Amino acid sequence: MNIDYHTKEFTYTLRPDDIIEINTHKDFDGNFTLEKVDKNLRVLDEVIDAKPRAFILHFPDKYVNKEVLKKYSEPPKHTVARAFLASSFAAKLIGNLYLTLIQRFAKNQIPSKIFSEKEEAILWLKIELKKIR
């Protein structure tokens, strides 16, 4: 059974297969801000619960400030892999920018890929999770 956690900007869905799905909150219609990053990361740490987890991140079609992306570039503890879902050309641009920032700023290099199809992302994440078990 999935368990949902919410902030003003995001919905975090903890799946029974140790994958956390991250979506923009359905009622969010503003811009992502630096002020909310710490709260979002605290909630994500609660969802992770000190266990190995993989992530599916749905890229928004909204512009995300480079400074905000930079704050999210360091993967939380216990992150095994990250799959980014990009459903539009704009989301793919944001995804490529984010991956570039990750490579530049993150101390821990976590396997990360951009996907167009959720099912492909889930299969890849399950393989990455098996590698640590």
Which domains, and CATH codes, for the chain?
Answer: 3-131 (3.30.750)
State the pLDDT at residue 95.
75
pLDDT digits (tens, 9 = 90+) for 63-85: 778 788 778 878 899 999 999 99
State the pLDDT at residue 61.
67
State the pLDDT at residue 70.
78
The stretch 111-126 carries a mean pLDDT of: 94
The stretch 24-32 carries a mean pLDDT of: 87
Q: Report the mean per-residue pLDDT for the chain.
A: 89
The pTM of this model reads 0.88
- DSSP-assigned beta bridge partners for residue 11: 6, 23
